[in-house]
Amino acid sequence: MKKRWKKQIDHPLLVETLSRELEIDPLVVRMLVNRGIRTVNAAKEFLSPTLDGLHDPFKMKDMVEAVQRLDFAIQNGDRILLYGDYDVDGTTSVAMMYQFLKNYTDDLICYIPDRYREGYGISKIGIDFAVKEEVDLIIAMDCGIKAIDAIAYANEKQIDTIICDHHLPSTNLPAAVAVLDPLRSDCSYPDTRLCGAGVSFKLIQAFAQFRKEDPSIWYPLLDLVAIGTACDIVPALGENRILLRAGLEQLNTKLRPGLKHILAPRKKETDLTVSDLVFGVGPVINAAGRLDDAMLSVDLLLENDLAIAEQKASVLQHKNEARKLLDQEILAEARQQWEAQPDFETANSIVLFSANWHRGVIGIVASRMVEKYQLPVILLTEHQDKLVGSARSISTYNIHEGISACSHLLENFGGHQFAAGLTLKRTKLKSFQLAFEQQVSQTIKPLEKSPVIPVETILPAEKITLKLWEQVQLMAPFGPKNRNPVFVSKNLVDAGGTYILKNNHLKLAIKTPEDERVIAGIGFGLGERFFELPVGSFELCYTIEKNTWRGKTTVQLNVKDLRPSKKSVS
């Protein structure tokens, strides 16, 4: 599918003014302006994110109540259950809270619900477990904001609850002792973009502040909050940017034993990045909750013995390999089922069902289908006489709103703009497919189905240097809303070293007709584009990387797209 290269709007006067006042390169200022930064102070805060820039945690609604109840629990010898979701955000939250509270009490239990037996969120089974273990206080992380019935049940059992969540609340809130969620309509917290681990961290920060502890008591937790933040794909701005920067610094200086083994296959001599966390750490940690028990991931993150951590990491890596095989099998089946549909080339949405698909994997496969077909995708499988599904979407369509418009056909649903989950009766499948297609067709425009590559600016090839890479790194850490800058260079030719690598990757060697300097590039998954390389010149759309191999450091392009020359960037 052809991609649209969309160049950012130029603001030459603003760039010139800020560049002069900040005394930095206009290219860096252009990147800042493209991200909505318009003042000197905002630019300085963005370029130098420090822990001093974190907001006062007591600005979050119910934080006083949460801290007071937690302090009472510790003073009173209450038993505390740390309850988290089964994904990376939830498991890092539980590990982080456990490690912190061990400074104050040994009366702690960790609990992660079973994805298949209990489903998402706080369950009655989980509350019954708390009753059996004589728990006095539950701290629920990355879940709970809609658990009205479950919290009422906990209250009946005389168990208090503190909720640390970041999902959108309903009109009514659970009757917990404290509900920490920056998306509450009555919460004036300055940053609403935190993930579950971020909200849990704010409780830790507040408790340390309440106890008049030195902030260094929570420094060792910054790696976990960074992993949760990176893998939950929340905007890499504001407090998230601060926590990512600090967490990555810690990960690059002192790696937890379990993470050492997970990252061992990474054959790079450069520092860890957000991408390493998302694609290297996240899938392995998630594999436990997808195929087995997510407590395996919590145990791994907390393990201090290197040998034991290696054993635990090996178990998770085997599960991740099994997950990959399921991923490939389901993707092949889903593609075959979809392309057998008579209207697959004209439809605006994909809703597929198979009773044999694994619940823990269909979300990943839905994302792969979105990448392939550039349509909103819902994949459903069977569970306890109902259909349960995962939904994923393209950047221009709010799939949560689309599903909500069809809610009269559903048992329940939840999620956000780009991802959601849903449950419906099997007898409603056909009606839902038709209703959802109609809803998407009324909303989405044909052009919106073409993937867009936002282009930072057009660069002459002679500016592709290590100095440029250093300038780009001022914008790191990268993530949603602060993507790795994409550049376009024109009038390039093949330098004679371009070929197809295994796994359908394209290895490039390019130069300009005027310059003999050869620049290396790699286009992941672009192997078939080798046959589209023109005899004459072409244009590349790319991000810039530093490649260190055998002690030699060079610049390398991560190619996103290519096309013959003489086409304008829109």
Q: Which residue has the tokens 């070293």?
A: 497
Question: What's the CATH architecture for 341-449?
Answer: Roll (3.10)
Looking at the chain, the domain(s) classified CATH 3.10.310.30 span 341-449
Distance, in Å, from the CA atom of 70 to the CA atom of 59, rounded to the nearest integer, reads: 18
pLDDT computed for residue 271 by the predictor: 87
Coil, strand or helix: which one is 193?
coil
pLDDT computed for residue 269 by the predictor: 67
Q: Give this prediction's pTM.
A: 0.90
- Under 8 Å CB-to-CB from 410, ≥6 apart: which residues? 403, 422, 423, 424, 428, 432
Q: Residue 253 CB: number of other CB atoms within 10 A?
A: 9
pLDDT computed for residue 267 by the predictor: 63
Looking at the chain, the domain(s) classified CATH 3.90.1640.30 span 57-254
Distance, in Å, from the CA atom of 397 to the CA atom of 412, rounded to the nearest integer, reads: 20
Phi, psi angle pair for 461, to nearest 5°:
-60, -30
CATH annotation of 57-254: 3.90.1640.30
Average pLDDT along the chain, 570 residues, taken 10 residues at a time: 85 94 93 93 94 97 98 98 95 98 97 85 95 98 94 98 93 96 96 97 98 97 97 93 97 93 76 92 90 90 95 92 93 96 91 93 93 93 90 89 94 82 94 96 78 90 92 93 94 88 90 86 90 85 88 91 75
Helix (H) or strand (E) holding 353: strand 350-353
The answer, yes or no, to whether the previous bond of 460 is cis (omega within 30 of 0) is no
Q: Supply the DSSP symbol for 479.
A: B
H helices within 444-505, ranges in order? 466-473
CATH annotation of 453-564: 2.40.50.460
Looking at the chain, the domain(s) classified CATH 2.40.50.460 span 453-564
192-231 b/e (C-beta count within 10 Å ≥ 16 → b): ebbbbbbbbbbbbbbbbbbeeeeeeebeebbbbbbbbbbb
